[in-house]
A and B are shown apart, each in its own frame.
Chain A
Amino acid sequence: MAATLPPIRNKNHNSAPGPSYGKPKPPPGGRLEPVTTPANAKGRRERMEEEKNMILRSQLPLLRKQDIAKFRNSYKHNLCLDMLTEGYHLSFCEMVNLIRQQMDRREAAGPESFLWQKPVLQDQTEKLDLMKMYLTQAEAASRKGDWAAEYASRYELAQVFKDNPDDMWLTDHFFHTCLEVAKKEEKDKGKMQAEGHCNVGLCLQANRNYKEAAKHFEEYHRLSQNNKDDWFMVNGTGFYTDACIRLNNIYTIIGTELGRTGEEEDDEASLEILTQALDMAKCSQDKKLEGEASYMLGIAYQKINQLDTALSHLFNFYESCQGDSNSEGIGTACDAIAKIYARQGNKEKSVEFLKRFVELTEKTGLEKEYCLACHNLGNVCNSVGNYDEATEYFSKAYNISRALGDSESTNVNRVQYGIAIAHRMMGKFANHVVIGDKTCMSRLVDWKSVRTDEFSKPIPDTVPGAAHHVVIPPPPPEVKDKEEGQEESTEEDLALREEAEGQQEEPQES
């Protein structure tokens, strides 16, 4: 049986010979002869032109199919064909999938997304070229089983895209593949793998995926622990130290994030993580880092009211700062310690640390911290009842913040300054009211009408012992809180309130 292949029957093939355009036909009548032109009738110039064209055409290369395809296809298409014909099919797959991934993401984001403004990978020819080069290198290396070379190529590729924030996803992708490659390598005891984990961790950290990042850093730490003394980076830092620093970093971030939510369980988890961070900092043998970790932990303890533990951690921080004379750190430490003492009710200690803080900042010329220090000290003095000093510090704070042009702190300090002055005046004012003789009354009236402050002058001794009858009213704590809440008040407002305060407390005294 022979089912022979029938020839292609071209149905639309026109068997009748079409009109031939080569030779002019005589008109049907037959009477007119076509005008025959002699062959050499063409102008000389025309012939020259023709010859030139012939020469030019013969110089052009004969185009093969692939050459034509180069012009017809897109750049990406040609690149892919090159890769495939050379046999690098895995590189091809990876590249096509990356391009597609980007397009899909764009589609998913919807037509109004800002992603559409950004150039797509398939239009950026130089990036495609780079990718092709490194990917084919990597594939060739992988075929030979030379994992180190493949790792290097992929690492290079990741580095290429590192600088452009739009290409971060590519960096992430290549670092992840780096890690995959590194896992195959068994000869170097996991050094490459450790590096891979570190890079992936950093990527995840940049993408705010802290939990996963922490896992990778832990792996990094575990791997580098066994080879503390052998593995060093280019700049001389040991892998192990680096791992500790990174772990401390990520733990601190996670801890702070957890602490911010305000849930009780989260607070405990936060404490745990911050303790881990401190451990890591200790392992890294970096005093500064350790100090900072202690500080974070101290603050966290303070938050859940474990003041003693908090104090001990803060003292650690204080010492570490003193060790490397980090005045800013000492300042922060003093401030935090003073706050805790204040909460414990230990005013003297608190004042002592704040004074240290003030002195320190005054010396080092850290304006902002100085302002803060004065403010805090003023607050404490205020609450202790030491109004003269309070006034002094608040006026300092007020002036500095005004000089710095920080409107928020200026307002706060202005209010506090006013309160302090009012408090200072209060005792004498009350005294005047209590004595109530003619001079006193006239002074009071004067103050009421024109705000002349003459209360500090000695009272003429009309009633014996009256001058010593000084009553300092303890400041009602809720008043202070209320004042702090209203930071944005204006000066007129303030004056009114001072007055009101004075009048409010008047009847109490009398």
Chain B
Amino acid sequence: MDINPLANPKGVKLLCELCQMPAFIQCQFCKVTYYCCIEHQKADWVGIHEKICDKLAFLRQPTPFLPSREEREKRMRQIAIKKIELIEMTRTLAQKMLFEGKHEESVPAAMQSLRYAIDVYGVATIELVPSYLILGEASIGLGKLAQAEEYLAKADWTVLKTPDCPRAIKSKLYRNLGLLNAAKGEFHDALTCFADDIYHASEEFGTDDIRTAGGYFHMANVFFRQGKMDVADSLYRQVIDIWHEHLADVIKARTPSEEEEAMSRTRVLGPVKGMFDDISSGMDEAQEAEAIQILNSIHDIREHQTNRRPEDLAQTCHALAMLYFVFHDIKRAKEYGRKAIVASDEVKDDDFSKSLVEFMKLCEKQGTQI
């Protein structure tokens, strides 16, 4: 037997945003989102709702009466664009939270993206796959392997049925499948999946792209856990090389136009910041989070490794320093820069030392500016 809360018009069922149960609480800002309990509202607020509250208000408001056909079509188009924007944003945010290790918080965002993706593209289309993948990854992170497998199987099936599926999606799918297998402890299958990931990513972006580097990193982790240290070592080295080069390029591209850069920074500082690609780093937020995760974990591994080559640690530190520099975290950048210098004392490579010194100078300059 259904109970209609008196305040609601009859026939309107208000469901919780997260669990689809009858809802009793309304978001006081947008007034279009409902929850079954305070916990779910909090979770949604932390996860995604804070960022998309006003967007949802626009999308969910009742359709106004528009007399002319053109106006109606115009509105339809507007809404479609808004929805796609929303999908992109929620996905990026969810991915970012995943890289930061906040698996639970990323679920609401992923669900939101999935909901709107179904709305825009329909069921069982290739556009839904990224959302499924994020959900799958979150499930792996939460240790719910069966559920993760379910999500990934769905993604896998969709990909299989789409013959001209973009390689980028395939690469992501295999990366998640690999993570799943690794979590299950099936290292051999995990390796095959990561290999597939790397293959597709290389075909799409090139072998030395930061988007390929993730595959190498996960593969290295598997080898590491299998105890094949030499292979893992060489893979980690390649990951660091890729990031090092990329970051060096970013910094090099930025340094000549410092004033321009400073201007863009003040402009970005508004509420818009964090929603779209960060202009200064040339990466989106998910990639930034990924960079922090990957570089930090490699740094940890290198620090605890006893028989490491000195240049490895130095280069890792340098890459990390550059990363923080790109994020305007000058203090940390300097800290890692100093570590890199200490580590590079053992290395007899003049070019490397020179680039380090240049970098430190840049840090000083940037530090005084701020």
Whether the Cβ atoms of B192 and A143 lie closer than 8 Å is no
Q: Does B284 contact A (CB under 8 A)?
A: no
Whether the Cβ atoms of B18 and A96 lie closer than 8 Å is no
| Residue from A1, A5, A66, A90 in contact with B142 in the complex, judged by beta carbons closer than 8 Å | A5
Whether the Cβ atoms of A1 and B228 lie closer than 8 Å is no
Whether the Cβ atoms of B107 and A5 lie closer than 8 Å is yes
Q: Does A81 contact B (CB under 8 A)?
A: yes
Q: Does A65 contact B (CB under 8 A)?
A: yes
User: Measured between alpha carbons, how far is A93 from B192 in the docked complex, in Å?
Assistant: 16
Whether the Cβ atoms of B228 and A89 lie closer than 8 Å is no
Of all chain A residues, which has the CB nearest B118? A11
Q: Name the interface residues of A84-132: CB closer than 8 Å to any CB of B.
A: 84-85, 87, 89-90, 92-93, 96-97, 100
Whether the Cβ atoms of B144 and A5 lie closer than 8 Å is yes
Of the candidates A5, A9, A12, A93, the one having the most CB atoms from chain B within 10 angstroms of its own CB is: A5
Whether the Cβ atoms of B108 and A3 lie closer than 8 Å is yes
User: Measured between alpha carbons, how far is A80 from B203 in the docked complex, in Å?
Assistant: 11
Q: Name the interface residues of A1-59: CB closer than 8 Å to any CB of B.
A: 1-6, 8-9, 11-12
User: Measured between alpha carbons, how far is A4 from B206 in the docked complex, in Å?
Assistant: 38
Main secondary structure of the interface of B (DSSP, over half): helix
Q: Does B250 contact A (CB under 8 A)?
A: no
Whether the Cβ atoms of A89 and B219 lie closer than 8 Å is yes
Whether the Cβ atoms of B199 and A77 lie closer than 8 Å is yes
User: Measured between alpha carbons, how far is A253 from B44 in the docked complex, in Å?
Assistant: 77
Whether the Cβ atoms of A6 and B207 lie closer than 8 Å is no
Residues of A contacting B105 with CB < 8 Å? 3
Of all chain B residues, which has the CB nearest A84? B195
Whether the Cβ atoms of A1 and B43 lie closer than 8 Å is yes
Q: Name the interface residues of A136-160: CB closer than 8 Å to any CB of B.
A: 143
Residues of A contacting B234 with CB < 8 Å? 87, 89-90, 143
| Residue from A4, A8, A12, A66 in contact with B151 in the complex, judged by beta carbons closer than 8 Å | A8
Min CB–CB distance B325 → chain A (angstroms): 28
Min CB–CB distance B93 → chain A (angstroms): 15
Interface string of B119-148 (1 = CB under 8 A from A): 000011000000000010011001010010
Known: A5-B139, A89-B235, A92-B207. A84 touches B40 (CB 8 A): no
Residues of B contacting A65 with CB < 8 Å? 189, 192
Whether the Cβ atoms of B43 and A2 lie closer than 8 Å is yes
Min CB–CB distance A21 → chain B (angstroms): 23
Whether the Cβ atoms of A92 and B198 lie closer than 8 Å is yes
Q: Name the interface residues of B38-64: CB closer than 8 Å to any CB of A.
A: 39-40, 42-44, 46-47
Q: Does B297 contact A (CB under 8 A)?
A: no
Residues of B contacting A85 with CB < 8 Å? 188, 191-192, 195
Residues of A contacting B231 with CB < 8 Å? 87, 143
Of the candidates A6, A66, A97, the one having the most CB atoms from chain B within 10 angstroms of its own CB is: A6
Known: A5-B139, A77-B199, A143-B230. A66 touches B192 (CB 8 A): yes
Min CB–CB distance B136 → chain A (angstroms): 10
Known: A3-B107, A11-B123. A87 touches B235 (CB 8 A): yes
Min CB–CB distance B246 → chain A (angstroms): 15
Whether the Cβ atoms of A3 and B216 lie closer than 8 Å is no
Residues of B contacting A77 with CB < 8 Å? 199
Known: A3-B107, A87-B235, A89-B234. A81 touches B199 (CB 8 A): yes
Q: Does B20 contact A (CB under 8 A)?
A: yes
Whether the Cβ atoms of A89 and B192 lie closer than 8 Å is no
Whether the Cβ atoms of B19 and A4 lie closer than 8 Å is yes
Residues of B contacting A100 with CB < 8 Å? 206
Min CB–CB distance A456 → chain B (angstroms): 88
Whether the Cβ atoms of B198 and A84 lie closer than 8 Å is yes
Min CB–CB distance B311 → chain A (angstroms): 13
Residues of A contacting B151 with CB < 8 Å? 8
Min CB–CB distance A88 → chain B (angstroms): 8
Residues of A contacting B118 with CB < 8 Å? 11
Of all chain A residues, which has the CB nearest B203? A96
Residues of A contacting B154 with CB < 8 Å? 8
Residues of B contacting A11 with CB < 8 Å? 118, 123
| Residue from A3, A81, A97 in contact with B40 in the complex, judged by beta carbons closer than 8 Å | A3
7 A-B pairs closest in CB distance: A84-B195, A87-B231, A3-B43, A93-B207, A85-B191, A81-B195, A1-B39
19 of the cross-chain contacts (CB-CB < 8 Å) are A2-B39, A2-B43, A3-B104, A3-B105, A5-B107, A5-B135, A5-B139, A6-B18, A69-B196, A80-B199, A81-B196, A84-B219, A85-B195, A87-B231, A89-B216, A89-B234, A90-B234, A143-B230, A143-B234
Apart from A8-B150, A143-B234, list 10 A-B contacts with CB within 8 A: A2-B43, A3-B18, A3-B47, A5-B138, A8-B154, A81-B192, A89-B234, A89-B238, A92-B207, A93-B202
